[in-house]
């Protein structure tokens, strides 16, 4: 993958997680599945870290390549 595509994957992933989380929380809370929602953080936080890692790695590679 090229650096630009890695940055795009990371940023789109972060945006999707950050924007979708409140909607998912409200929808699941409305259906009374709050016990399941308590475990959702176990999935969202690692996914957010992974997407931030993609973006950070791509920026690191881009910076090293420009030297």
Kindly report, residue by residue over 23-48, the tens digit of the pLDDT: 776 776 666 666 666 666 677 778 77
Q: Which residue has the tokens 């973006």?
A: 55
Name the pTM for this structure: 0.52
pLDDT at 21 over 80: no
List the structure tokens of 65.
Answer: 């390549």
């Amino acid at each position: 993958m090229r650096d630009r595509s890695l940055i795009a994957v990371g940023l789109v992933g972060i945006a999707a997680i950050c924007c979708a989380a409140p909607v998912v929380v409200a929808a699941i809370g409305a259906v009374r599945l709050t016990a399941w929602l308590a475990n959702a953080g176990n999935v969202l936080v690692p996914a957010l870290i992974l997407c931030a890692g993609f973006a950070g790695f791509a920026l690191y590679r881009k910076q090293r390549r420009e030297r």
